[in-house]
Homo-oligomer: A and B are copies of this chain.
Amino acid sequence: MLSRKYVETFFEEKIDRHIPHLSVDCVIFGFHGADLKVLLLKWKGFDRWALPGGYVERRESLDAAAQKVLLARTGLRRVHLRQFHAFGGLNRKEASVRKLFAGVGVKVPDDTWPLHRVVSIGYYALVDYWKVRPGHDFMSDSCMWCSADELPPLAFDHRDVIRVARETLRESLASPHIAATLLPERFTMPELQRLHEAILSRELDRRNFQKRMLESGMLERLPDRRTGGAHRAPYLYRFKVERAGLSD
Contact = CB atoms under 8 A, between A and B. Distances in A.
Interface of A: 19-22, 56, 58-63, 83, 85-86, 88-90, 116-117, 119, 121
Given A19-B21, A20-B20, A21-B19, A88 B117 contact: no
Contacts of A61: 88-90
Nearest to A60: B90
A85 B20 CA distance: 19
30 contacts: A19-B20, A19-B21, A19-B117, A19-B119, A20-B20, A20-B21, A21-B21, A21-B22, A22-B22, A22-B119, A56-B88, A56-B119, A58-B116, A58-B117, A59-B90, A60-B90, A61-B88, A61-B89, A61-B90, A62-B86, A62-B88, A62-B89, A62-B119, A63-B88, A83-B85, A83-B86, A86-B86, A86-B121, A88-B121, A119-B121
Given A20-B21, A62-B119, 20 more contacts: A19-B20, A19-B21, A19-B117, A19-B119, A21-B22, A22-B22, A56-B119, A58-B116, A59-B90, A60-B90, A61-B88, A61-B89, A61-B90, A62-B86, A62-B88, A62-B89, A63-B88, A83-B85, A83-B86, A119-B121
Contacts of A58: 116-117
| Identical subunits present | 2
Nearest to A91: B61
Contacts of A59: 90
Nearest to A58: B117
8 tightest CB-CB pairs across the interface, nearest first?
A: A62-B88, A86-B86, A86-B121, A19-B21, A61-B89, A61-B90, A20-B20, A61-B88
A218 B92 CA distance: 38
Max chain B C-beta neighbours (<10 A), residue from A20, A86, A116: A86
Nearest to A19: B21
Contacts of A119: 19, 22, 56, 62, 121
Contacts of A62: 86, 88-89, 119
A58 to B, nearest CB: 6
Nearest to A90: B61
Contacts of A63: 88
